[in-house]
Structure 1
């Protein structure tokens, strides 16, 4: 709107013209004063109108040159198109929800709208895309890139806007946007956020939003935010998730045991057909879903001499296909070895018994002291249990073991104050009480999950009278009623480290009774066994290939196109199983009131997909401004044209 000051030109000329004239008294003109006094008021009004229409003509001309927009994603009434647009695209699994009216996913719908809006931007404007999966900034040279389809495959050509089964973190997306803007400053920017406003993706209670608001304030009035919400209601949805996959062998007969969670968006009482595919062979069974959430255990026979394989379990198509399938893999039957290294011999014997509760498996568990640990070969060990402090000479060996996919279970010792657990945690002084009650634990997944029958582990019945405090960068799986951790998990490389802050010893707790200890140790033993079969489970978006390993190749007849999609991949000797992010099935969405405090003082607007929403309608006003310029000039012409002269007869 640099041309607005030009509207003052007629006023300046008018004032200068008034300064050119001086009043000169002349007696002969006195008789004319009375004759002109009547018409003076009309002349002044005409001159005022002429001046006003000239000023308005220049104002509307400047507005037409600025190409103002009314409504829609671009700008405000006189803001005009931005010099740069940054599109933040939510590519999470929840964006694959199908609209009942258009039968298109939320992702495809917003891509259509983004492409249409981007086409109205000036040719010299810069358009950048940052997606939630890669967080990488990419230039858009043609707005049609957002929705261009390959006619042969029916898929969008540009990989940066294709579907994923990963989760989204909108705060991370905005941080990536601000980092890119800091490296490329100096232009008026609009940020377009295309999302379904899923609460778990936006995390409105996160402390990161305060820093995001401050970051935008640092750019001043050069930044505005437009949110395109793809949140039309969808049909009822079912989701399936793999909890556990185990191979059992009894003589020459083998079976695969699958634990599955099935969740519905509403209360249901329906029969759900499940289709199981194992190495190309399909079978189907029905599940009676009586509640919104249900855990199912299914035993599937395996062919004799079958050394390993992979498969999937799928639901019928519904409003979101992204969460309708889960994948699994299994290896050959093998004896799983455990190494128990305990500084307290009595505790070591109890841990050895938990690792090998049956006499036939006792030889597969090795008990030793920390002094004799150095020469032990861990290449074929599924689980290492360590009690007490870890000496410096053993830490590097254990770190390599965990990085390679091994599982390490740690317990405190009686003298572990201020000693480190590898490089992620530190033990503090033990403390005693009449009883430390366990308040909550993760019951839906992991080593503390409920049994397939729905019966929880007996953590609530544990009597903990002594524990060690710990400072750790880890996920708490179980905690006491004073919010101190009881069991923690730390992921490292391809493996994991689980830490328990009490001991299976009568002076510490009743863990030695085995109701909790044995199931936890056996579950960790099976998890560690996947390392021996070179099977790695992960979540889409969290487990990604690295340059130092062989390329990930989709397994034969697999559906996955990239590691951002659920499926089974082969990488050298390893087999990687990726499943969709579980949290993408969560329904809660944010409202306008929820969004209001997130952006601080930044100019932001919310656009919904409601067809009759006036705020969503967009149009260019420059044509109307040109018409108004012509009307103002026409009015000025009428006012300045002198009236026709009527001749007088003599």
Structure 2
């Protein structure tokens, strides 16, 4: 036990004041005997013992009351691990509240209708009302300067929400705690209670990556011998059905990932908004995770600068939106490899982009060993499909590359010719999807002229989803997704001996549409909220949110220097994994670290109740002293005379 005002302990000197007054009162009265004194002495002998006892009790109670008054002014404080009595001066206990302001703290708290962040603020307010001395300091995970509260009324102000409102950032709580300990050291604060309010999301702690930092914090706690106490207040969220969407920036093209907790099939309507239009895309979700390729989304934002994707509302609104800029590369970078020189010339002409650039020619024998595939978006391959399984080619496709494959002229056994048909002299395409995809009708309603297509030979693709069918049900064109990439496979060749594809009325539109879908969406203008890059955009103007919002704290589309930039919450904020009490206690090995599961947080304010004990005890002692100071009741008895 130590004292906040040790100088007040000199008040113990006043304890002898009642004794001195008692002795002085005795000196004021001289004993003077007179004739009738012997009768008075004889009458008082019977009550002298009880009177002396009352006097001594009154004297003792007055002394104890002065002791309580002295302790009340000295403000004793009890610390774990400290000697029972210490006369060294102690500063008031500083209450440091560490608030997790990451996006996941906007989940609904268990048993309430408030977010975890708002529940934390209410708990901090409750603690501040119990803090009778010392400062209240609030640290939060966005690396903003600490908020120092010297008046309790400051936390009651509605403006506190503007300082500690919701964000779309992530958190690094071990790093924040390191900043807290450094601040306490610089401010020479000897007594501190550090209360952490967090949802214990695993990505906010990263125990394995921050193991050294947590060990250093534990050593600091041990060196302070209980004068610094770390207390974790875990917050639990309600287990409700939730959907989330976030952007996965990739090396080639970004993808959108939809996650949901609901089991079973579900059909939802995805809202896709641009600066000029608002559209809806119906999605059939059958698994816990669904990947949306950016080519599917970008079709809704033709000639637009940005897109905003919104899932249907649920109770967790913070993870229902994602944003994307639609700045495209100048042109798709294509490569071409063909066994046949004529096919090479035909495909090269059909793949010419808007700027007149033709694909780069790659020799088939060197294609599988080349290391520059990351520079290309589309590869037109005419030859044996076995090359697609080579590691470098597979990596190209898996990272988002597109392959347009035409059969080999050397696979004779797999080729079907028109003489194998019974009901027709030629193969013809009779079915295809006219509503969406690369074979869809044009904006004016015109369909691809498949009726003019005459096919003499074909090699049916064995894998992938059929996009168009022959009259016998076999696929003319297939699509197979591998990782983030796509393989389109034709069943015939643009050679006169195979088909009239070389005429171009079907081949060119299909290739040009594939080119448009492989245009690389720019990820240069994509950033995560709370990142170092986001700090450079504090003067950017919000397009999709309130004008007061900043890209460091809030996701959305922002405009700066005439350019659009997309800011999204970090993808890890959607991760529901939490750390356990056992994991946390094994990471911070200190007896001065406490997992505080008390919802009322009574243990956090025990020291502030000490003065009340001495105040109550002092009042009781004064009441008892008053009682014993009253004159004894006289008993009227009949006088007895002795002769």
Would you say same fold, with TM above 0.5?
yes
Which residue number in structure 2 is paired with residue 554 of structure 1?
Answer: 542
Give the aligned partner of residue 264 of structure 1. 260
1:106 is matched with 116
- Contact persistence 2:18–2:63 (CA under 8 A): no
1:196 to 177, 189, 199: 199
The SS at the match of 1:596 is helix
Whether contact under 8 Å (2:351, 2:359) holds in the other structure is: no
- Tell me: CA distance 1:517–1:601, structure 2 relative to 1, closer, same or farther (3 Å): closer
Q: 1:571 aligns with which of 531, 548, 560?
A: 560
| TM-score after normalising by structure 1 | 0.56
Out of 59-68 and 318-327, give the one that drifted further.
59-68
Q: Who is 1:215 aligned against? A: 220
1:451 and 1:95 map into 2 onto residues whose CA distance is: 37
State which of 82, 106, 115 in structure 2 corresponds to 1:96: 106
Q: CA deviation at 1:279?
A: 2.3
1:352-371 correspondence to structure 2 within 5 Å: none
- Matched position secondary structure for 1:182: helix
Structure 1 residues 617-626 or 95-104, which shifts more? 617-626
1:239-262 Cα shifts (integer Å, max 9, x gaps): 112236999xxxxxxxxx974222
Which shows bigger deviation, 176-185 or 187-196? 187-196
Distance 1:585 1:111 in 2: 22
Q: What secondary structure is seen at the aligned counterpart in 1 of 2:308?
A: strand
Larger mean Cα displacement after TM superposition, 1-10 or 194-203: 1-10
Q: 1:307, 1:331 within 8 Å by CA — same for their partners in 2? A: no
2:136 alignment counterpart = 127
1:240 corresponds to: 245
Q: String of CA shifts for 1:279-335, please: whole Å, max 9, x gaps.
A: 24222233333333232447257489x544111111122232111111111124632
Find the aligned partners of 2:169 and 2:92 in 1 and give their Cα distance: 31
Helix, strand or coil: the match of 1:565?
coil
Q: 1:527-584, CA deviations, whole angstroms, 9 ceiling, x for partnerless residues?
A: 9966xx684222211243456x793222366788112211122232543221112222
User: 1:75-132: per-residue Cα shift (whole Å, max 9, x none)?
Assistant: xxx999944332221100111012365422111221122134224434x733333220
Equivalent residue number for residue 631 of structure 1? 620
Contact 1:234 1:319 in 2 (8 A): no
Q: Give the number of the structure whose alpha-carbon radius of gyration is greater.
A: 2
CA RMSD between the two structures: 5.4
Q: Note the alpha carbon deviations across 1:148-175, whole angstroms, 9 max, x for none.
A: 447xxxxx653x3121111111101001
What is the DSSP-based 3-state SS (H/G/I as helix, E as strand, rest coil) of the residue aligned with 2:530?
coil
5+ long unaligned stretches in structure 2: 24-45, 79-85, 336-347, 363-369, 377-390, 403-480, 487-516
1:273–1:188 Cα change, 3 Å: same
CA contact (8 A) 1:566 1:578 kept: yes
SS at the partner of 1:134? coil
In 2, the alpha carbon distance for the partners of 1:589 and 1:170 equals 14
Matches within 5 A, 1:169-208: 169-205=172-208, 206-208=211-213
Following superposition, the deviation at residue 197 of structure 1 comes to 2.1
CA distance in 1, matches of 2:308, 2:249: 13
- Answer yes or no: is the 8 Å Cα contact 1:226–1:604 preserved in 2: yes
With structure 2 as the length reference, what TM-score do the two structures score?
A: 0.56
Q: How far apart in 2 are the matches of 1:446 and 1:39? A: 110
CA separation in 2, counterparts of 1:528 and 1:334?
8
Contact conserved, 1:224 with 1:604, CA < 8 A, in 2?
Answer: yes
Aligned match of 1:586: 575
With over 3 angstroms needed to count, the CA separation of the structure-2 counterparts of 1:276 and 1:129, relative to structure 1, is: same
How far apart, CA to CA, are the structure 2 residues paired with 1:81 and 1:182? 14
Cα distance in 1 for partners of 2:59, 2:626 equals 12
CA deviation map 1:207-242 (0-9, x unaligned): 321011123344444322343333243422221122
User: Shift of residue 268 of structure 1?
Assistant: 4.5
Mapped to 1, the partners of 2:125 and 2:614 lie a distance apart of 26
* Aligned residue pairs, count: 454
- Separation in structure 1 between the aligned mates of residue 111 and residue 580 of structure 2, nearest angstrom: 22
After superposition, the Cα gap between the structure-2 partners of 1:80 and 1:518, relative to the gap in structure 1 and judged at 3 Å, is: closer
1:44-59 counterparts in 2 under 5 A? 53-54=61-62, 56-58=64-66
Partner residue of 2:502? none
1:330 aligned partner: 326
CA contact (8 A) 1:558 1:567 kept: no
Give the direction of change, closer, same or farther, for the CA distance of 1:237–1:56 in structure 2 (3 Å limit).
Answer: farther
State the match for 1:140 in structure 2: 149
Q: Which of 215, 226, 229 is equivalent to 1:224?
A: 229
Going from structure 1 to structure 2, the CA distance change for 1:40 and 1:272 (only over 3 Å counts) comes to: farther
- Structure 1 distance, partners of 2:261, 2:548, is 26
Distance 1:170 1:8 in 2: 50
Distance 1:235 1:336, change over 3 A: same
Structure-2 residue corresponding to 1:459: none
What is the CA–CA distance in structure 2 between the aligned matches of 1:449 and 1:265, rounded to whole Å?
27
Tell me, what secondary structure is at the counterpart of 1:207? helix
**Pair 10,176 (structure 1): closer, same or farther in 2 beyond 3 Å:** same
Distance 2:99 2:518 in 1: 35
Provide the rounded CA distance (Å) in 1 between the counterparts of 2:547 and 2:194: 34
